[in-house]
Structure formats: structure tokens, C-alpha cells
Chains A and B, each alone.
Chain A
């Protein structure tokens, strides 16, 4: 009886624990995930020799080696990683310090959240101000390949893998502050800034601005410090872009499971960029 009781308790507990797995990794078409899934290796973030895409990947280093078929190692390591979670295996981008801040106007005017009215801890800061680096968090990790300058195959734990290309060369996929022909971080959506109720209220109060809200959908997430990062919209594990009917890359808010790109897109923007139909306009056509 006691034993039975324990089993029930244990099963109940297990149910609870497993139900808490992140929703974004459950119920996703496995062929969109990083390799070793039914032999599909076309996820651009699969950098192993097995990858079938045309981007950078490991060079085949002989039949006896498994080093060139590893997938996770490019970002994660169980030992010897950086202090940053999750078990992070990337060095800082070599361009740290020169990434431009989002700039929404002339003479390097910052966006409203840069205004002095927002306290130093909750605004968007240039590199190192108040001890906060820029970019920070997950964005910094993404840029350790997507700056087009940091070697992809040189990991933080000392492992080095020879790659077919040492850096990303597709200019549409990189943000190199020293190369004007790549994406300009100053004009893309701002990242690495604290976005909390204070900031949202502040931007909403700017002339001509609509109402800004905090995201509630768990697929559109701020990081642990309430910062907006690349990962707010993108999930680096799930390759959602099929090149035809669904072109949003690594889209985190994948509720339509590939059926309705526009709905997923709108639902993402609409998490923060909202209008409650208040003065001076009354919403219609929504």
C-alpha cells in the first residue's frame, strides 16, 4: 500500500515535471530540428559534415573521426563553457565594442528608450555603460557567428573544427559593423535593451507613437533580465523557413506549424506593437 502510494506520487510528479518542458520544443515537426532527426540535416544551424545546406560546415576529416559529425558542440558544451547559459560554447564576437546602437533618426539620436527619463538600468546602453555590455545575452551569442568576422569553428572550450568556410559569407545573414554591405544593426529592430512596463509606457507616451505592450505569448519572450534579444522572435533550433510558403527564418512563434506565415508574423509584432484604439484614434479595420 505504501509502495503503491509512492508509485502514484512518483508518476504524478513525473507528469508535472514533463509537462513543464518548454512548449516551443514540444509538438514541432521533427524535420525542422537540428540533425539526427530522421536523417534530415538541412537545418542551416547544423554545421556538421552531414549538413546538406550550402552554408559553412565541418570539413570531412576521415572515416574514423566523429568530430566532424557533431552538431551541438558549435554552441553548447557540458564542460569548459562560458559563464553564460545555456552551457555556452562560443567566444565573444570579435566585433564587440563596435556594434552600432539602433538609431532612429539624424545625428545619432537614440530611440525614445534611450531618453534620460529612463533610469540607467532600464535603458539601451552603449557598450559597457554602467557595466552593461552591448550587445548582451543571447544576441551576443548569435553575433558570434552572424557578425561575419568571428571564426565559426573556434569554440570557447578549446575545441577547434575545420570548416568549409571559417565565417558566414552570405551578406544577407550577417551584421558586420565594419562592412556597410551587410545588415546594419542600427536600422534593424533594436535588440539587447530592457523592455519592461516603464519602458513600454515611456515609448507609448512619445508623440505619434501607438500603445506599446509587454508580450504575453510564451513564444515571444524577453530574456531573464527583461531584455529583447534575437531569441524574442527567433528560435535557433527550429528551421521554419521552407523558402516558398513560409519564409520567416527560425520563427519562434510557430503556432500555425507552417500553414500561415502571416498569422505567425502578425501575432509576433502584435505582442508589443499594439494599439488599444484609444485617443486620438479609434481602432477599426482590425
Chain B
């Protein structure tokens, strides 16, 4: 009899176990791919469906999908009415940035981006392209962490997470085999073995940058000192109150502020506004670092741009970011084109070149 009860019991218990919804036991709360800002239910109450709408699940990275929320107010209102976008989101119109003359041309390529593409590109003839998803991981992106979840530089077969913004930029603007004619490898310009570079990859080599405005400093001495910079310190929207980041700008070079690079022009705060953001205009025009700075920039009657003698990224040959713009500067009559610095950071040197008809063979300071 005991045996019977046991058999019965076993039957009922077994049955009972199976009648319970196994899902309750198995349900793994939080097992989701959505994280970061797009994982916030307040913003996207319908999670995946905000972007993967209806039966069209595959998204090829084209910008229109993003513009549904990150475009015009009308588009956003449509998303809100459909219950796909929460009310709390304060979103900028990024689509407008991409209509500016200098921009990452997301609209120019269709169907070129591939989710499994490996960057930097190794094929010489691969089509250049950019889409929102080349800088932002839609499942991982978060407030104040625009490239969270993006994988960066390749180390052998391994791709590590991006820690610094420049690693993201280098995916397309450094060792890519398909760089357009006239584009340079930005890593080559910023690398720490160069004679001088703007402190993007590391703190700078020159310990005497006299014109630096606070809080910028060559080395950390006080809390709050800023010794490093990012690509987007210079490249970004010209609208200071608009969306951050290098989407688009009205200034050439996708720069945040105006930077004139032409020769034969009068000096003004506006002409070199980008440089004067960190480098004190008063210091430069009073020749604190180079006795003939003002003469070159202001000229007589017209001066030349910072760009004529300096490369804002870096110089593999010379200190002080000296790299001559050879559209303006030419060799001397005997074929020399050279800058010779005296010592390290001494602010003395000489130039061998010919510029605006003046032979420097050499001219020393």
C-alpha cells in the first residue's frame, strides 16, 4: 500500500511540476542585449521594436532608422504616438547636423556598411563609407559614452574595446588601405615617437608651451589641469549648444570653430578662433614663444595662417608642430627646405626656405 501511495505521489508530483509554467523558473530577468541609453525603458518603452519595426528586422545601419528619434520633431512625435519613444527624452536633431557642408557623409553610401566589416580596412579598393553605426553601437551607446560598445584597434586577430576617442577615429582615418588620395594616416601624425604632436594619444613632448591658457597644462601639476585632448576638442559641431560630436559643421575641416588656412590674410580673433581657444592670442602676438610670430601672422600688409608653418596634428620631423605647408612655402634657391631647432624647447632656431618672396637662407631667431 505504501508503495501505491508512493507511485501515486510520484505521478502527481511529476505532473504538478510539469503543470507549473516552467518559464517562471527559467525566466532570466535582464537577459537582454539592450543596454545603455537604448536599454532604458523610460526612453524606449517597447525596447527592440523602437528600431526593429514590424517585420523588417534587419537594419543595415542606414541613418533613417536613427532619424526616427534623432531627426526632426515631427518624426519624433510620430514615434511618441506609436508608443515607441518615451516622453522623457530630450533629443537633438542630428539629421540637421548632417546637412551641413562639412560632415561625416552618412547619406552618401547605401548598403556599403556591413555589420561584420573589419576596420581598419585592408582592401585598397573598398568603398569608403560612414554610417551612424560606425561610431555608435546602438545596443550599447549610453549618455556621455557615445562610443560605448564599439570595438577598436585590431591587435592581430583580436579587437579590443575602445577606451579613447581617437581609437574610434583611427578605424577609418589611420591605417586604412583605402584612404582617399590626399588623406593622411592620422595615427602617423599623432604618434608619440613624433618630434611633436598635439596631446591626443599621450601628453605632449614640449614642456614649455608658453601660450597655453588655463586649465591646459603640459603636465599635471594641480588638480583640474588638463594635459590631454581629444579629436572632438577641435572637430565637432559649430553650434556650441547643439549636439556634441563631429557629425557636421559649417566650418571647413568639420571644425568646431573657424580656422583659416589660407595665405595672405589679415589676422583676427575669428580667423584663428580654433587655435585661440587654448593658445592665448595675446601671448602669441606679443612674440612670447617666437620673436617674429606677430610679423608672420599679421604680416605687412597681410600675414599668413598658423597652418603655413604648423601642422595641428603633429610633426614627425620638427619640434613645435612645425611642418611647412608646401603650397605656400618653397625651398631656397639652393634647394633647402628645413627648420633647425636649437636644442630642446629653447625657442631658438633657424629656417631655410623661401616664403612670400623672402629667402630665408638661413634666418635665425
Q: Please report A residues at the B interface, Cβ cutoff 8 Å.
A: 4-5, 8-9, 11-16, 18-20, 23, 26, 102-106, 109, 112, 172, 183-184, 186-189, 206-211, 213, 216-219, 253, 255, 262, 265-267, 269-271, 273-275, 277, 279-281, 283-286
Contact = CB atoms under 8 A, between A and B. Distances in A.
Contacts of A26: 19
Interface residues of B, number: 58
A270 B4 CA distance: 44
Contacts, number: 160
A159 to B, nearest CB: 31
Contacts of B46: 262, 265
B39 A207 contact: no
Contacts of A187: 55-58
A188 B32 contact: no
Give the interface SS of chain A, mostly helix, strand, loop or mixed. Answer: loop
Interface in B145-160: 148-151, 159-160
Contacts of A211: 33
Contact of B39 (A219, A265, A279, A285): A285
A16 B57 contact: no
18 contacts: A8-B7, A15-B14, A16-B14, A19-B16, A23-B21, A103-B58, A105-B116, A109-B114, A112-B116, A187-B56, A211-B33, A218-B22, A269-B32, A270-B28, A271-B31, A274-B31, A279-B161, A285-B37
B43 to A, nearest CB: 10
Nearest to A211: B33
Interface in B7-42: 7-8, 10-12, 14-19, 21-24, 26-28, 30-33, 35-37, 39-40
A42 to B, nearest CB: 22
A215 to B, nearest CB: 9
A129 to B, nearest CB: 21
Contacts of B31: 213, 270-271, 274
A103 B59 CA distance: 10
Interface in B262-318: none
B194 interface: no
B14 to A, nearest CB: 5
A255 B32 contact: no
Contacts of A208: 115, 137, 149-151
B113 interface: yes
Given A208-B150, A275-B35, A217 B26 contact: yes
A5 B7 CA distance: 10
B118 interface: yes
Interface string B90-115: 00000000000000000000011111
Interface in B120-169: 137, 139-140, 142, 148-151, 159-162
A19 B14 contact: yes
A256 B17 CA distance: 19
Nearest to A268: B48
A255 B21 contact: yes
Contacts of A23: 18-19, 21-22
Contacts of B142: 285
Contact of A104 (B32, B45, B58): B58
B8 A273 contact: no
B350 interface: no
**Which 7 A-B residue pairs are closest in the complex by CB-CB distance?**
A280-B161, A19-B15, A12-B11, A286-B30, A105-B114, A15-B11, A187-B58
Given A104-B115, A219-B23, A286-B32, A15 B15 contact: yes
By CB atoms of chain B within 10 A, which of A16, A109, A219, A280 has the most? A280
